[in-house]
Amino acid sequence: MSGYLEEVKLPDFRFWKEIEEKRIPLSAEVELTERCNNNCTHCYINLPANDQDAKKRELSFEEIRGIVDEAVGMGCLWWLITGGEPLLREDFPDIYLYLKRKGIRVSLFTNATLINTEITSLFKKYPPQTVEVTIYGLSQKTYEVVTRNPGSFDAFRRGINLLKENHISFTLETAGLPQNFHEIKEMRGFAQSVTGKSLGVVLRLNIGSRFKGRSNRNLIKRLRLPPEKVMEILKQDEKRYRKDMERFCQKFLRVSGNDHLFSCGAGVGGCHIDAYGNFQLCMLLRHPDCVYSLREGSFKEVWERFVPRVREIRANNKKYQEKCQRCFLESFCGQCPAWSWMEHGVLDEPVEYLCEIAHTEAVWLGLLKKGEKSLGGRGRK
C-alpha cells in the first residue's frame, strides 16, 4: 500500500482511548449453540448434537441479526463465533456472511471436524480474521479418549487439511489434560509445522458455570493438572513464556488497591452472548445478577445501563478482601468474579486452584521464594 489507505496496526489504532472513556462495545462473542458433535471429558458446554430442546431455544438467525445491527450501530468491529460447535448450525453460512457484510471482522472457534468444502469456499471468498481449532491429541487414541467420539480424529485431520489446502489461516489450541499431557510437546511441533504459529495451551481448566451437570463439574476438577505438571508444560516453551510474562508483569503486576470486584476488562470494550440470547460481561460469568436476556431488553439498554451497575459491585467477603485484593499476584493468577462464581457460586471467594498455580509460577519466575506468600505487595512468609 502506498499510503492512500492508511494501514494501522491494531495496538496503534486511535480509538482505544475512546473505548475506555466512552465504553464502546468494540468486540463481542456469541455462542451459536451449546450443542457439540464431540463429548469432551473436560468440557462444560457440550450438549448432544441432536438435542432438539436446546436447538429450539437457540437464538434464531433473525434474533442474531437484530443483536448484530444494534451492536454494529454502537461501534462493534470484532465478533467471535463460538459454541458448542458453531458449525453444527445449519444457518452458520448465513450468520457468518451477515456479520461480514455488516463490516465486522469475524473469528471462529471450532473443532474443525465439520469443515467441508462449502465452508472452505465461504472462507476462501470471505476470509475470517482468525480460525482457532482445538486439538485434543496427536494420535487417534489420545484424541478420542478426550473427545469420546469415535471417528473424530479422522474428521479433525480432514478438516484441518481442507483449511490448509485452501490457504485458510488457522491456529491450534489444546487443553492440558492428564489424557494428552504426554503429547503436548509433540503437538507444539505439529502446530508450528502446520500453521506456522505456536500452539495455544489452556492450563487452567474452568468447570463452567452451568450448574445443571454437577457430576461433570467434579469430573473436570479431577482432570486439572497439578501445578508441577502445569510448570512442565510452560517450560516446554520457556523462552516465549518468560518473554510474555516479563511484559505482563511490567504492565500488570501490582496490588490494585481497588475494592471493586471487577478489575478486569469484562464489559469495558466487549461482551459475551450465550446461545439463548443471554448477555454476559464475559464468557464465563453467568451469575444471575450479571446476566441479562436480550430477548427482554435491547443491547443498547443492557450495555448502557446494566453493565455499569454490575461493574460497580464491590467485594463483601473479608477473606477475598484480605487474601486477593491485597495480593500483588491478583492479576497474574486470574482470580476474578467469574472464576469465583464457577467454583463457589458467589462472586467474591478466592479460588485456591488458581492461587496454587500462580504461586508455583511466581516462584519459578523468581517473583517469590519457595513457601513465601504474596500478600501486601511483596513476598511474605
Partner 1 sequence: MNRLERIYAKSKDLVEREIEGEIIIVPLTSGIGDLEDELFSLNEVRRDVWARIDGKKPVSEIVKELEEIYETDREKLTSDVLGFLGELEKGNS
Residues engaged in binding partner 1 (CB under 8 A)? 1-2, 4-11, 13-15, 18, 22, 24, 26, 72, 75, 77, 100-105, 124-127, 129-130
Residue 258 is given by DSSP the state -
Nearer to partner 1, 75 or 178 (CB): 75
Contacts of 51 (CB under 8 A, 6+ apart): 35
Find residue 173's DSSP bridge partners: 134, 200
The packing angle between helices 117-125 and 152-165, to 10°, is 30
CB of 279 to partner 1, least distance (A): 21
Q: Cβ 127 to partner 1, closest distance in Å?
A: 5
User: Least Å distance between CB 9 and partner 1?
Assistant: 6
φ, ψ (nearest 5 deg) of residue 180: -115, 5
DSSP for 205-243 reads ----S-TT-HHHHHHHHHHPPPHHHHHHHHHHTHHHHHH
Q: At what angle do helices 227-236 and 238-252 cross, to 10 degrees?
A: 110
Count CB-CB contacts under 10 A for residue 306.
17
- Closest to partner 1 by CB, 6 vs 90, is 6
Longest dimension (CA), the chain: 60
CB of 129 to partner 1, least distance (A): 6
If you search the block for the grid coordinates 436476556, which residue do you land on? 293
122/375 with CB nearer partner 1: 122
Cell numbers 502445569 correspond to: 230
Q: In angstroms, what is the minimal distance from the CB of 173 to partner 1?
A: 15
Q: Which is nearer to partner 1, 26 or 203 (CB)?
A: 26
**CA 297 to CA 277: how far, in whole Å?**
10
Question: Shortest distance, CB of residue 3 to partner 1, whole angstroms?
Answer: 9
Cα separation values, 234 from 199, 220, 335, Å: 12, 21, 19
Minimum Å gap between C-beta 116 and partner 1 is 20
Q: What DSSP designation does 306 have?
A: I
Can you tell me the distance from the alpha carbon of 54 to that of 46, in angstroms, rounded to the nearest whole number?
11
For partner 1, the closer of residues 1 and 251 by Cβ is 1
Q: Which is nearer to partner 1, 97 or 145 (CB)?
A: 97
**Judged by CB, which is closer to partner 1: 128, or 337?**
128
Between 39 and 107, name the residue whose CB sits nearer to partner 1.
107
For residues 72 and 367, what is the distance between their CA atoms, to the nearest angstrom? 43
CB of 15 to partner 1, least distance (A): 5
- Measured from the CB of residue 6, what is the shortest distance to partner 1 in angstroms? 5
**β-strands 130-134, 105-110 pairing:** parallel
Distance CA 170, CA 258 (A): 38
Q: Which is nearer to partner 1, 26 or 112 (CB)?
A: 26
